[in-house]
Structure 1
Amino acid sequence: LHVERRPRPVPPPIEELVDGVWEKTPFGRVFVVERRLPSTERHGGAPLDAVLAHPPEHLALVEEEPPAGFDFSGAVFLDTETTGLAGGTGTIPFLVGLGRFEGDEYVLRQLFLDDPAAERGLLAILAETLAGASGLVTYNGKVFDWPLVRSRFLLNRFRPDFLAVEPPHVDLLSWTRRLWKLRLGSCSLAVVERGVMGLERTDDIPGAEIPELYFAYLRGERVGERMARVFFHNEYDVKSLAVLAARALHLAENPLERYEDPSELYACCRLPRMAERRVELLSAAIAGGLEPEVERQARWELSLHHKRRGKLDEARRLWEALRRGPYDLRPYEEEAKFLEHRARDCAAAKRLVEEALERCGRAVADTYSRARQRGALVYRLRRLERKLAGERVADDEVYE
């Protein structure tokens, strides 16, 4: 029985959609797009090379453990478009975008896999580009892009030298979460571009649609301009990495002079090297006007800083202000501790605990939380009552 096989549909030639060249490798051909942009080209209101003005040691302002040997001037800014968003061994990066500063240019290269069988060829070109880089800059790349790329090298039995050790890696998603999640809510790159960099993508392809679009291209469907926009989407990402890094460092270096929203001051007070400026930043954030819930948390944190520095009058004023707002056990506990152990006024402490008990019963809906808080308050109330009755009570807490 002879079964006639239908010829595989021929995809639309990618060179008709995107300006690039075919690069032949021993493992198949790869479509390569290269654009040499002036490093001073503006993107999101800032030049691409703005990040180079920030010395590598300033990474410590936003990174708990800055990667050793990292330097933006020699780093590769990397973003991938893949056949799936969940990762796994069946997912491949079919478009790899790479940005790198070379002299007075920002060189943007895109490696496109026209045929998945030529994946090893793409990896060979990628290995050449990554060789000698001082590190990687990605967005969620520590979790997704780099583990995926690394696994594709290993699955293809390709072990370039840079895979021997983990490269210095700056993942800007962690920076974004520290600095802007409170203000923006979502930390998707498109949201961050709009909210932080003032960029609005137009005629863009949503990332979730890109895998299926690539499969449609492989099936020979007429995806035309939509496929070309995937390249634009990827290029935009790679350029945004450079500018976003600069924006984050610009803010972290001098938040009081450079913030645009009070929530950024609150976020900066939690950065690794801001301990000495925390009170100043918290005070400025509160004065600038935070969302009510965030403001209450900022006042609470500021009160603890005052307490640790022995400024109890200032701490107590904050606790009093917090008690006038929505119920919160913490300022009641702190004031009760002060009254009991420092002021030696057990009667006033007892009245405060009784007030907290009454408010807790009305305000806390969750049964477990209400029982836990009431248990702590009742325990404190009973101890105060024994003290007021003249009993000798061994204190089981130290006021510091």
Structure 2
Amino acid sequence: MKRKFGRTATRRLQVESLEHRRLLAVAAFETELYSDNGGVPGQLLADNTVVAGETFFLRVTAEEFDPFLYGLRTASLDIDWDAALLDVVEADWDLDSVITADLPLFHSGTLDNAAGRIDELSGTAMLSGGAGRSIGNMHSETFAMIRMQAGDEPGTASIALSKSETKTITVPSMILQDEQLRFEAATVTIVAASPPAVSEVIPPVDSPAAPPLTDSAELSAPADIVEVVEPPEVPVISEPDPEPLPPSPVVSEPEPMEDAPVTLDFDANQDGVFDFADFGLLNIQVVTAQQGPVEPVEPLAAESAELSPVDTAGELIEEMPAAESTDEYRHVCIAVRPGDVVAAETWVDALAQAWLADAEARRHRRGIL
């Protein structure tokens, strides 16, 4: 296409995206808000909302994006805010605690709360001398942590970061120009503090409201006097007194008789005599004319038959008169003086010996031995 003589070529307008300009930045400084947990940073305030009159923390972060660099060894910036709504807590304003310990050298920063500004906030690390390290190498790191306080009135305040006269330097050493730095501005929303909860007092349902008083109306009784209604009397029915019982005759306990004879109930066969018959009729011998005379017994049996009384404690054992002999039976009986333990034991020993002797005699009679 041919152009006419004397006319210039037409220029076209090109639109450049801001994202492309952002990609040109080598380093960026951004802000975050954190709650105040007793003087130390608490939880992240994602919506940047704080309560009027309360304190919070402003975190300033630094990040370097160039893959051929290794972070920032010097960082510097200015901070501005709405002085009518926000303040820096001056009691906590200490550059050594505000700026990160990774940039320990050449701390600077001038606070002006009335103007709402911090000038030349900066810090440096010297890697060759082993003082600190670079920060923000391909990721965001803390550059400064500032404690601030919201005003008493709700509102919306802005916090803006900007370049300072001190330069920002990377590793390896390269001074970043203004177009290579990006600074963020944040908006802080201040809300009113919630009033303390007041519990509503609900009057009792049963108590009616008092009528309004007039000049002519008089109280019949003071308001704090409550008439006491006594309950009706209930007749008390008393039970009749029980008739007194006739006194029972007093029975006196019989006094124990001295030396009263005690009869031991050893009469098993109830024949009135306590003898070997009560132990299985061991000492009963049948004597008849057909059987002839009784066979003599062994000396042990004879000794047991001729047991004499044993006087160990003054007639401990008495020999009772033998029962009358008949043509069929002959009884031998020995009784013990009551109440004497020694005599009872002696009698039991004699009884056992007699028992054995009687058994021995019966074996002889039966021709066992």
Q: Which TM-score band (shorter chain)?
A: under 0.3
TM-score, normalization by structure 2: 0.17
More helix by share: 1
